[in-house]
Amino acid sequence: MKSYISNNAPELKSINLSLAVFDALALTKGIIEEEDANAVVSIDVNKLILTWTSRILLTPINVSVFETDGTNQLWIECASRDADLVVNVTKKIEEAQAELTLEPVRSIEDRKEPSSAIEVLEELMADPAWSSCVTVLPSAIKGAEESVFTNLKQLKTYLLRLASFAAARRSRRGATTEAIAEESGLGGVYRRAVSFTAETKYAEDYIARWNGSARIFGEHITVGFSVNNARCFSAHFLFDQHSGKIVIGRMGKHGECTRSNS
C-alpha cells in the first residue's frame, strides 16, 4: 500500500500489502476515528472514496483506495495545514499494516475446525475481510448460539460466500440477486424472499430490528433440508444499500412456514 499527501506535502513511506480494497478503507476509517474524536467518516462503496470531515480540519479530507498492477494504493488529499494530522494517521495505518505481516497469514479455511454453529460464526466475525462485507445482529448471534446444526463445514462454506455475494452486489446493481447468488456459489441455497404464509402468519420468526425499526429479513440461505434442526440451518438477511453490506437478522433453526409447519 502506498500513501501520499497532496498539496506539496512530503511523500510518505510505501508499504505493499495484500489488503482488499474494502479492508483498506475499513482500516483507515477505524484509525481516523481513533485519532480524531470529532471525525465524521463516510465511505462511498461505489466510488471507493472515504470522506473525513471534522471541525479541526481546514477542509474535508478525501481518501481513495484503488488497485494498480495487483497492489492496493491509498491516496490522502488534504490541505497543507492539515498535513501533520494526516502524517500521524498514515503512520498509524503503517503500524497496523506491519502488525498484519508479523506472521504468515493463514487462510480462514485452514484454521481449527469449529465444534458448533456459534464457533463458525465467531470465527467469521473475527475475520476483517468477512466482517467488512457482513454485519451480524445480536438476534442472529443468539440464534447461532442456540443452533444444534451439525454440518459445520458446509455451513462455514456458505456463510463465507455471503461476503462475496455482498461485494458483488455493490458493483452489479443491474443484475438480479439470483444471478449474483449463482455466481457467488449460493445458487442452490439462496432465496430472495420467504413465502407469503411465512411473512404474514409467522412473521415473528423473520423479524429483527435494524436502524431503529422492525424489518422482515426475507432474503435467506438455507443449508440442509429437514425439519430436524440438526440438519437444517437458515440465515435471513437484507442488503443495506448505504453500507454495501449484508445484514443478518435471524439465524439458526428454520422459521415456521408451510413446509416446516406441515
Q: What is the mean pLDDT of residues 49-69?
A: 81
Exposure string for 154-176, b = 16+ CB within 10 A, e = fewer: ebbebbbbbbbbbbbbbeeeeee
In three-state secondary structure terms, 140 is: helix
Domains belonging to the chain, first-starting first, are 3-100 (3.30.310), 116-252 (no CATH)
Mean pLDDT of the chain: 80
Interval 93-141: pLDDT, tens: 878 766 655 544 444 445 567 899 999 999 999 998 899 999 999 999 9
Residue 32's pLDDT band, with cuts at 50, 70 and 90, is: confident
CA distances in angstroms from 144 to 32, 50, 168, 218, 229, listed in the order given:
33, 33, 25, 18, 12
Q: What is the mean pLDDT of residues 76-99?
A: 80
What lies within 8 Å, CB to CB, of 16 at 6+ separation is 1, 2, 71, 72
Closest CA to 63 of 36, 96, 90, 99: 90
Among left, alpha and beta (phi > 0; psi -120 to 50; other), residue 70 is: left
Closest CA to 119 of 153, 73, 76: 153
Residue type at position 34: E
Locus of grid cell 471507493: 48
Q: Show the DSSP H helices in the chain as ranges.
A: 21-35, 83-100, 117-125, 128-131, 138-146, 152-171, 177-183, 196-201
Q: Which three cell numbers stand for residue 16?
A: 505493499
- Output the pLDDT for position 7: 45
| Cα distance between residue 21 and residue 257, in whole Å | 40
- Output the pLDDT for position 6: 45
| Cα distance between residue 246 and residue 208, in whole Å | 14
What pTM value is reported for the model? 0.57
